[in-house]
Amino acid sequence: MKKPLIVQKFGGTSMGSIETIHIVAEHIIKAKNDGNQVVVVVSAMSGETNRLVALAQQIDSVPTARELDVLLSAGEQVSMALLAMTLNKLGFAARSLTGAQANIVTDNLHNDATIKNIDTRTIIELLEQDQIVIVAGFQGVNENGDITTLGRGGSDTSAVTLAGALKADECQIFTDVDGVYSCDPRVVPNAQKLDVVDFPSMEEMARKGAKVLHLPCVQYAWDNAVPLRVLSTFDVNEGSLIKGEQGTKPVCGIAIQRDMALITIEHEALSNLQKHCQMLGIEVWSVIEDTEWAGVVIKLDACAKLKLVFSDKIRNSEHVSLLTTVGLQAPSLVDRSFALLAEHDINIHYVSTTSQSSMLMLSPESVNSAANILHEAFITSDELLDFQPRQVSLG
Amino acid sequence: MKKPLIVQKFGGTSMGSIETIHIVAEHIIKAKNDGNQVVVVVSAMSGETNRLVALAQQIDSVPTARELDVLLSAGEQVSMALLAMTLNKLGFAARSLTGAQANIVTDNLHNDATIKNIDTRTIIELLEQDQIVIVAGFQGVNENGDITTLGRGGSDTSAVTLAGALKADECQIFTDVDGVYSCDPRVVPNAQKLDVVDFPSMEEMARKGAKVLHLPCVQYAWDNAVPLRVLSTFDVNEGSLIKGEQGTKPVCGIAIQRDMALITIEHEALSNLQKHCQMLGIEVWSVIEDTEWAGVVIKLDACAKLKLVFSDKIRNSEHVSLLTTVGLQAPSLVDRSFALLAEHDINIHYVSTTSQSSMLMLSPESVNSAANILHEAFITSDELLDFQPRQVSLG
C-alpha cells in the first residue's frame, strides 16, 4: 500500500537556531515514524534574510533584482543543509534540494516570481529511496536557470504548491502559533482555537486581515484540494485543519485590518479615482457610494502615492480600521452588530456584506473593543445560539 | 579582433566586506576598460566559511559530506551576488553564476572534489553579450547535480581550471601579498619580489613550502600553459608573472617547510615503513639511507598516526625543518651551503638534491638564520656573481 505523503513547512523562527532545528527534526521524525513519506520546505534562519538585505543595501538602495535573488536564496540553502545534517545525525536518511535541484520553475519576475511548474520526478525518486526530502522554500529558477525568489510568504507558497504537485495528503504549515483562532488572541483574550475551518472562511479571514496564512497560499490549497494544517513548532497539538467547502456554520471568525484609509470624493470623480488606483497598483478594498459622497477604502500607506497624482479631487481622507465577521451570514447579523456596538457608543461608519462576511468600517481606536463585543456575542456566548433561530425566522 | 580574456580570482580577504568588494570591483573595471573580457572567480567572504563550519559542528563533529557542501557553497553565492550588484551599481553589466550554473562538473568526492569538465558555453555566451561573468569558486556539481566543493585552495583551482577551459590569456590570482618573493619576507627581510618566475621553479617552491600558490594550481597552469599572475588586491602593481620553462637562472628562491619529522629505523625495516606510510595516506617527503640507519621525512602531525601502527620498529623521531633552494642548481652549491652555514655553527643534517633544487634538513631553531645566510649569499649579494664562474670551472 502506498504510504501517505505529508508536506511540512517550517518558517524562519522554527529554523532560527541549532536548538530549534533539532525541534523541527523531531516533528519530521514523528511524521516519518508514523508511516508517512515526508517532504519538508524550509525558510532561511530568522534574521538571515534581513542580514543579507542589509549587506545588499550597503551597495545599492535598489540592488539588481537578479542578484538580490542569488543573494537571498543562499539563506534557505544554509538552513536546509543544517536540517538535513541534523536528521542524518539522528539516523534518518535525508537530502536537501535547492529550488533549482527540486525543479521548481517560475516566471521571470525576480523578487516576486510565480511558480509555473514543478517537475517532481527528483523528489519522488528520493522518496522512493525512503529519504526525507528537504526543499528550499521561497526560491525557484526561471527557464534560463537564473535563481528567482517568490516574494512575501514565499515559503508557504512553495510548500502548498509542492503539496499540490505531489498530490500530498496534507500540507502542514508549522509556525509560532498553534492554529487558526476565531480572532487575534492579543486583541480578544477569549478567542478560541478552531479545530477545523472550511476553505471559504479561511480565504475570507486571510483576505480581511488574519495573518496566520497568506491569501495566495489558502487559495492555492483550496483550488487544488490540499488539506492545510496550521500548527506550532513549539507545542504538541493538532493545530487547525483547513479543508472542505463552507458548511452552515454561522460566524466562525473575526478578522481585523488596521491602517486603512477611506478616501472620499464627489460622486462624479469616483470612476476617475478608481482608474488612478488601478494605474498605481493600489488595491481597492471597498467602493462606497453614499448619498452625499463616494469613496474607496485603500491601505493607509498607499494614500501618499494616490494624493501625489490625484490631490485636487480628494475631499477627505480618514484613517479607519476594518472588522470582518466571517462565516455564513445571517441576515440580521448586521442589525445586531449595530445594536451591540451602539450600546458601547461605538459607531459603525459603513458596512459591506457578502454571503460569507460582513465588513464593518470603524474608527481605529474602537476596533479592539468592537472585536471583543462581537466575539462575545457571536462566538463565545450563548447569545449566538439564541441568535440563530431568530435569523431563520427573520430570513 | 578578438579581445584578450582574463580570469581574475579574489580570495576571502579581498571579498571580506562591502568596502573591499568595492576595491575588487575597481580591479575588474580596470581590466574591462583596458579592453579585456573578464571572468571573475570569488571565494566566500572571510570568516563566512568558518561561521558555517561552526554551525555544522554544533550538529555533528563530522557532518554529512554532501550536506556540508550544500552549506559551504552558500558562502560564495553570497559574495558573488554582492560583487555583481557592486559592478551593476557602478554601471557595468555583470552576472553571477554558481558552480552549477557555470557547468563546473566534478567527481563525486564531497569536500575534496576534482573538476572533471567545464562546459564553457554559458560563460562564453555571457562574455559575447559584453557581460562581466562572476563565478563562485571552490564549488561545482557532480553528475547527479549534487553540489560539491573542491577542498583547500579550491578557488585558485576553480580560477586556473576555468582559465584553461576558456583558453584565457592570463589567470590573475589576487591575494594579500603583492607577488612571489625569493623567500618569505617575514623570515628574510631582504627577500625580493620576483617579476617573472618560470613554472618549474614555481612548482618546486610550492611543493617545498612556499604558501603563495597551491601546488595543484601551479601544476594545472603549467600543464595547460596558462600564464599565472600573483598580485595584491590592496596595492597597485604588476605582481609576479609565472610562465615559461626553466631558464638558466641559478637560485631564484628559498622555500621553508617547518614542522617536519625525520623518522629513523633499521635499514631492513625501511620498505615496511614506506608501505605503512602509503597505507595510512602519509606523504613521504624524502627517503634517506645513511650508513647507520634509514629514515623517512614526513609531516610532524602525521607522526602520531604512524607511531600508532608502527611504534615497535621506530628508532627515533626528530622534529626538523626543511630549507630548499630552488632554481638551476650549480654542482658546488651544496658544498658552498655547508661552508656558509658552518661559519655560523649551523649543522645541515641531510641534503637531497635534484637538478632544480637542493633540500637541506636543519634543526627547527636554525632554519631562519640559515635562510637569511643563504639568501644573502645566493640571491641578494655579489657573491652569487663570483660563485657562478667557479661553478662552471668546477662542473
Instruction: Look up the CATH number of the domain holding residue A390.
Output: 3.30.2130.10
Block residue for cell numbers 487547525: A240
Of all residues in chain B, the one with the smallest CA distance to A58 is B18
Q: Are residues B155 and B267 in the same domain?
A: no
Please indicate, yes or no, if residue B127 is contained in any of the structural domains: yes
Asked whether the beta carbons of residue A67 and residue B59 sit closer than 8 angstroms, the reply is no
Which among B176, B210, B237 is the end of a domain?
B176
Nearest-angstrom CA–CA distance, B159 and A66: 24
**Residue B328 vs residue B14, higher pLDDT:** B14
Q: What is the pLDDT of residues B54-98, one digit of tens each?
A: 999 999 999 999 999 999 999 999 999 999 999 999 999 999 999
Q: Which of A59, A77, A98 sits opposite B18 (nearest CB)?
A: A59
Q: Are residues B126 and B271 in the same domain?
A: no
**In which band, very low, low, confident or very high, does the pLDDT at B292 lie, cut at 50, 70 and 90?**
confident
Q: What is the pLDDT of residue B211?
A: 87
The C-alpha R_g of chain B, in whole angstroms, comes to 23
**Residue A312 vs residue A384, higher pLDDT:** A312
Mutate to test the interface with B, among A48, A66, A71 (most CBs of B within 10 A): A71
Distances (CA, A) of B388 to B73, B250, B391: 51, 8, 5
Alpha helices in chain A (DSSP H): 18-33, 48-59, 65-89, 121-128, 154-165, 199-207, 215-223, 270-279, 303-310, 333-342, 367-375, 383-394
Q: Are residues B257 and B357 in the same domain?
A: yes
Residue B389 has pLDDT above 50, yes or no: no
Please indicate, yes or no, if residue A127 is contained in any of the structural domains: yes
Q: Tell me the longest C-alpha to C-alpha distance in chain B.
A: 71
Q: Are residues B171 and B290 in the same domain?
A: no
User: Which letter, b or e, does each residue of B72-105 get, where b requires 16 or more Cβ atoms within 10 Å of its Cβ?
Assistant: bbbbbbbbbbbbbbbbbbeebebbbbbbbbbbbb
Residue A174 has pLDDT above 60, yes or no: yes
Asked whether the beta carbons of residue B71 and residue A81 sit closer than 8 angstroms, the reply is yes
Percent with pLDDT over 70 in chain A: 95
Residue pair A193/A180 in contact by the 8 Å Cβ criterion: yes
Asked whether the beta carbons of residue A101 and residue B71 sit closer than 8 angstroms, the reply is no
Q: Are residues B150 and B272 in the same domain?
A: no
**In which band, very low, low, confident or very high, does the pLDDT at B308 lie, cut at 50, 70 and 90?**
confident
Q: What is the pLDDT of residue B244?
A: 92
Q: Are residues B275 and B376 in the same domain?
A: yes
Asked whether the beta carbons of residue B71 and residue A78 sit closer than 8 angstroms, the reply is yes
Give the annotated binding-site residues of A for substrate: 49, 76
Domain that holds residue B315: 253-394
| Candidate ranges A87-101, B303-317, B376-390; pick with highest mean pLDDT | A87-101
Q: Does B58 contact A at CB distance below 8 Å?
A: yes
Euclidean distance between the first and the last CA atom of chain B, given in angstroms as a whole number:
50
- Hey, is B331 helix, strand or coil? coil
Of B358, B332, B177, B174, nearest to B254 by C-alpha is B358
**In which band, very low, low, confident or very high, does the pLDDT at A383 lie, cut at 50, 70 and 90?**
low
Which among B142, B176, B210 is the end of a domain?
B176
Of A204, A223, A107, A80, nearest to A164 by C-alpha is A223
Please indicate, yes or no, if residue B265 is contained in any of the structural domains: yes
- Of A127-131, A157-161, A308-312, B126-130, least confident by mean pLDDT is A308-312
Q: Which of B60, B66, B81 sits opposite A70 (nearest CB)?
A: B81
Q: Are residues A124 and A267 in the same domain?
A: no
Please indicate, yes or no, if residue A55 is contained in any of the structural domains: yes
Please report residues of A whose CB lies closer than 8 A to that of B58.
18
Question: Is the ipTM here above 0.90?
Answer: no
- Of A82-86, B273-277, B309-313, least confident by mean pLDDT is B309-313
Q: Does A59 contact B at CB distance below 8 Å?
A: yes
Q: Are residues A272 and A380 in the same domain?
A: yes
Q: Does A93 contact B at CB distance below 8 Å?
A: no
Q: What is the pLDDT of residue B248?
A: 65
Q: What is the pLDDT of residue A331?
A: 78
Please indicate, yes or no, if residue B157 is contained in any of the structural domains: yes
Q: Are residues A78 and A166 in the same domain?
A: yes
Which among A176, A211, A237 is the end of a domain?
A176
Nearest-angstrom CA–CA distance, A26 and A33: 10
Q: Are residues A149 and A267 in the same domain?
A: no
Please indicate, yes or no, if residue A106 is contained in any of the structural domains: yes
Q: Are residues A260 and A138 in the same domain?
A: no
Residue B383 has pLDDT above 70, yes or no: no
Please report residues of B whose CB lies closer than 8 A to that of A68.
81, 85
Q: What is the pLDDT of residues A245-283, one digit of tens each?
A: 876 667 899 999 999 999 999 999 999 999 999 999 999
- Of A328-332, B70-74, B289-293, B302-306, least confident by mean pLDDT is A328-332
Block residue for cell numbers 527534526: A25
Q: Are residues A259 and A163 in the same domain?
A: no
Please indicate, yes or no, if residue B213 is contained in any of the structural domains: no
**Number of domains chain B contains:** 2
Instruction: Indicate the helix (H) or strand (E) that contains B88.
Output: helix B65-89
Please indicate, yes or no, if residue A310 is contained in any of the structural domains: yes
CATH number at residue B81: 3.40.1160.10
Euclidean distance between the first and the last CA atom of chain A, given in angstroms as a whole number:
50
